[in-house]
Amino acid sequence: MNRQSTFRKFSAAGTDWAALITGGGLGLTLALSATTVRQSDFASVYSTVQSISRICALVGTYFAIVGIFLVARIPWVERGVGHDRLVTWHRKLGPYSLFLIGFHVLFVLIGYGGQDNIPLYSEMWQLLRTFDWMWFALAGFILMIMAGVTSYKKARAKMSYETWWIIHVYTYIAIAASFMHQVINGQMFIGHPLNRAYWTALYVFMGLSILIWRIGIPLVRSMRHNLKVDKIVVEGPGVISVIMRGRNLHKLAAEGGQFFGWRFFTRGHFLMSHPYSLSAAPTEHFLRITVKDLGDHSRSLAFLKRNTRVFVEGPYGAFTAGRSTRPHIVLIGGGVGITPVRALMDEFKDGVEMDLIYRASKEEDLVLREELDYMAYNSGGTIRVHYLVGSRKNHPMDSRSLKALVPRFADCDIYICGPGPLVEAVREAAQDLGVPKNRFHDEAFAFHSE
């Protein structure tokens, strides 16, 4: 069995197991409410509303916990399901969690306010004063709203990665803040030790997952490989490469096309992890990233000093050569999205045909051009590079234009990394030409390079 078929089979099996475990957990969560329901819970309209609010709280919190698991970087989950798919699930699950918890808050106020015959704002104040840990629950809800609102594309596009990242971390605090008010005040937990044990175990496992796989293991591996900045190379206007040296880097099991979360042990760079793709296949002693000036963090990388210690999380991503199924590959890079594409080129074996399409607005935006030309010149004709410089009007990425550039486009594996509009245009063109979904491989670019 070859590497490609092994990857697909393992990925499909991992997805099935992930769905089974998640569904089983949801069933157990619903059972908490079903097995503790009382006749009085449906004696009136307002008591019924309160019962619905409890179900919303349980399911919404469960979805929030699952969302944290999806991005906890658990190795066997990452390998089995794929990082890109996990991130997609995380993004899709988030709104459902927020809406359900929002309904819980609204229905609690309506239910208790109706029974007490007082306005909702008065009921809110009374609940905060009467029940334990309600102030923490309210703080958690506000933090969750902040994280949810800033995750929408339009809101995210108006803020720096640093701001988005800090607000998003509040999700962890929000979920933790809600725990005590649930187990102390929740009808399904009072007098039900097994229910409380299950719910507590979910929270403990979530916390351990973050501590072990997001903090502990990356710290240990970074120290073991002794990764440090070796030199900074200016690649073009506003674009630099950071070359890092270390020992036994093959044990990271990284591939061209993947990315790491990077922390540099210097002021302004250590507390926050930034995702940057490798821009060349890793070697035994060196890793390289190529970064465009898109904000304060990426701009300041140019001033990193030699021997600055580097801490990494990863590697992540399924944008790898192992997903290919054809002997002819089309690689498409837009702007600085060329960096993972350039690294990916190193991973394909001799004899694989490659057509690289590189979109850029201006000539000076063609970073790594000398390397690409060198690879094409020494490939014996198996690598062809097509530079498309100028506006979208001059170089439309539709089915007709792509087929003109690469006549066998429909029979190839397509790898693309770049801005969203470019990816969607090529996806639509690939569909028009009959390229099946399993041969279209894209790397998420929003907030990936900054």
Q: Among 60, 63, 64, 38, which residue's Cα sits nearest to residue 51? A: 38
| Residues 415, 332 contacting (CB under 8 angstroms) | yes
pLDDT tens, 372-428?
999 999 998 899 999 999 988 889 999 999 999 999 999 999 999 998 889 999 999
pLDDT tens, 89-121?
888 898 999 999 999 999 999 999 999 999 999
pLDDT at 10: 47
The partner residues of 263 in beta bridges, in order of sequence, read 311
pLDDT at 15: 63
Domain ranges of the chain: 3-221, 226-316, 325-443
pLDDT at 351: 81
| Residues 357, 330 contacting (CB under 8 angstroms) | yes
Listed as own residue / partner, the contacts of 224-228 with beta carbons closer than 8 Å and 24 or more positions apart are 224/248, 225/249, 225/251, 225/252, 227/287, 227/309, 227/310, 227/311, 227/312, 228/306, 228/307, 228/308, 228/309, 228/310
Q: Among 72, 14, 60, 67, which residue's Cα sits nearest to residue 208? A: 72
For the chain, residues with pLDDT lower than 50 are: 1-7, 10, 446-450
Q: 313: helix, coil or strand? A: strand
| Residues 36, 192 contacting (CB under 8 angstroms) | yes
In sequence order, what are the residues at sequence separation of 6 or more whose Cβ sits closer than 8 angstroms to the Cβ of residue 250?
282, 284
Helices (H), 35-119: 45-70, 75-81, 83-116
| Phi, psi of 128, rounded to the nearest 5 degrees | -65, -35
| Phi, psi of 228, rounded to the nearest 5 degrees | -140, 155
Surface-to-core class of residue 441, CB atoms within 10 Å of its CB (0-12 exposed, 13-18 middle, 19+ buried): buried
What DSSP character marks residue 213?
Answer: I
Report the CATH fold assignment for 3-221. Answer: Four Helix Bundle (Hemerythrin (Met), subunit A) (1.20.120)
Q: Using a cut of 0.85, tell me whether the model's pTM lies above it.
A: no
Class of domain 325-443: alpha beta
DSSP string, 122-142: HHHHHHHHHSTTHHHHHHHHH
| Radius of gyration for the alpha carbons in the chain, expressed in angstroms and rounded | 25
- Cis amide leading into 315 (omega within 30): yes
CATH of domain 226-316: 2.40.30.10
